[in-house]
Amino acid sequence: MPFRHPDRSHGLGTRIELEVRERLEEAVDYVCLEALVQARRARGLPAPAADNAADRREYTEHVRAFLVQLERDLTADLDAEQRRRLPAAPAAVDEEARLMSVQVALARLLPDYWQRFDAGRARYLAEPADPRAPADGSRSEGRGLLARLFGRG
């Protein structure tokens, strides 16, 4: 896949980071669109529409929930040196941009990043979190009776 960023004056490190970011954005987009379609299908609702503000909001909530899950899963085993190499959270940056920057850093840091991403994707799509649930992963109050009985979620 060729480098598609219009400004080619950047150094190699910046070009690699832009490529990784672009690939990540495409992968996250795929996961979150699939989660949105699955959730709507499960609720008996029509497919999402690009020009619907509520659908765009729900998609954005899925993006945030998936990125939070990935960050939690992929940073759990990092040592102090690896954690130091992750981007800090500047106050001026919105949370979604920070979450994506962390994923870019992890993709460059972890040799098995894409395998871990794929495992996180499979987990999220198997039982997508309610994107409006708390970021700490506590979702039990929103689970149905069957999910509680069978220990899912």
Query: pTM of the entire structure?
Result: 0.73
For residue 133, is pLDDT > 80? no
The Cα 132–Cα 152 span in angstroms is 18
Q: Which of 52, 61, 69, 57 is nearest to 116 (CA)?
A: 69
Q: Which of 19, 11, 31, 20 is nearest to 110 (CA)?
A: 20
Give me the residue spans of the domains in the chain: 12-149
**Given CA atoms 127, 67, 118, 45 in this order, what sign does their dihedral have?**
positive
Label residue 139 by pLDDT band (50, 70, 90): very low
For residue 4, is pLDDT > 70? no
Label residue 16 by pLDDT band (50, 70, 90): confident
pLDDT of residue 85: 86
Mean pLDDT, range 64-76, rounded to an integer: 94
For residue 5, is pLDDT > 80? no
The Cα 36–Cα 133 span in angstroms is 15
Label residue 137 by pLDDT band (50, 70, 90): very low
Burial code (b: 16+ CB inside 10 Å, e: under 16) for 111-141 equals eebeebbeebbeebeeebbebebeeeeeeee
Q: Which of 40, 56, 50 is nearest to 128 (CA)?
A: 40
Percent of the chain's residues with pLDDT above 90: 44
